[in-house]
Amino acid sequence: MNSYLTLRKANKMRLAMVSETSQKQIRDMVHYLQVVSWDISGAEAIKSDLIDMAIQANKEGKELFTVPEEAASFAAEMKKQCATPNFRNLFFLLIWFFLYNAVGYLLLYFVDQQLLAPMDTNYLFSLVIGTLSTYVLWKYVIRQIAFPMRKHLLVFIALLVAYSVIMYLLVGILHSFVPPIVAVNMNFLGWSIFYWVLFILLYCLRLYHYGHNPAVVNRL
């Protein structure tokens, strides 16, 4: 079985062994690390360590973290151990974009089975710009947000809103000044199949990569 899936299943079972307060502390920590680093498998490995620490702390009549400052300090250290946002992990996160398109085009096919949907050069340019800007935003801005994430939630939302507005304006300018060239023209079912194939291939590649992460393998 895939090492990442095995560890995730074991973590889920072992998490029930600690107190509710420690469970929440662990979930908050792991969620924070996953958001700021995109290192999903690395954060899962750290989750295993956190559960071990929580079990020991509960035996001593304590919670995993006794004061917020302790948790914040630990999060800062663990963030250094996680991989920094990179294009590989960003690419793995695109599986949800592919799934969204796969389902969306399939639903549209049942509405109109004859209408053709083009993929033009402007769409491809927009996708590249969006990918690059997302990488820059996370690597140099979002990653600097301190733990806990909920304390800085308004800042996080404001950054995403500003990012979305800027991207909308850039894409609008692109479409206004650069004439699109149709690259591919297919009906909705064709696009749905195309995105389903991308989603399945990328999901399998993601699991393979996560399962061979040394941090994950060493926890088993």
The enclosing H or E element of 187 equals strand 182-187
Q: What are phi and psi of 2, to 5 degrees?
A: -60, 130
8: nearest Cα among 40, 44, 34: 44
Q: What are phi and psi of 73, to 5 degrees?
A: -65, -40
Most confident of 10-14, 34-38, 185-189: 10-14
Asked whether residue 182 carries a pLDDT value surpassing 80, the answer given is no
- Predicted structure pTM score: 0.84
pLDDT > 70: percent of the chain? 100
In angstroms, what CA-CA distances link 106 with 102, 157, 182, 189, 195? 6, 31, 21, 6, 10
Give residue-wise pLDDT tens across range 121-174.
Answer: 878 888 888 888 888 888 888 888 888 888 888 888 888 888 888 888 887 887
| DSSP label at residue 61 | T
Q: Is the dihedral of CA 62, 63, 64, 68 positive or negative?
A: negative
Cα atoms in the 13 Å half-sphere on the side-chain side of 128: 7
30: nearest Cα among 42, 17, 14: 42
- What pLDDT sits at residue 4? 93
Give residue-wise pLDDT tens across range 63-90.
Answer: 999 888 899 999 999 998 888 878 778 8
Tokens 């990569």, residue?
209
143: nearest Cα among 86, 92, 219: 86
